[in-house]
Amino acid sequence: MDEVRWRLPVRPDDSLQVHAKVISARVSETKPDRGVVSMWYQVLNQNAQDVAHYTTLQILRRRTATNM
């Protein structure tokens, strides 16, 4: 996780929603069966207030054309 920002406190009875957006995606240079994906996440409370957001870098297995 990178650029983690807690904007508002979260309470035990809060309902949270998480929205994700792909920032970038590319094939791994050393392992072509894997992809490197940068994601941005936003966490909202029940009042649609931005309580947190952060970015991640994930290494994921790529699908082949036969199993798409």
pLDDT tens-digit series, residues 10-35: 999 999 999 999 999 999 999 989 99
Query: Is there a contact between 6 and 53 (Cβ–Cβ < 8 Å)?
Result: no
Q: What is the mean pLDDT of residues 38-65?
A: 94
Question: Residue 5: CA atoms inside 13 Å, Cβ hemisphere, count?
Answer: 11
In a domain? residue 68 = no
Taking only the tens place, the pLDDT of each residue in 38-47 is: 999 999 999 9
In the chain, how many domains are there? 1
What pLDDT is stored for residue 63 in this prediction?
84
Range of the domain at 27: 2-63
Task: Identify whether 31 is part of a domain.
Answer: yes
The pLDDT assigned to 50 comes to 97
Inform me whether the pLDDT recorded for 1 exceeds 70. Answer: yes
Q: C-alpha 64: how far from its chain's center?
A: 23
Q: What is the CATH classification number for the domain harbouring 27? A: 3.10.129.10
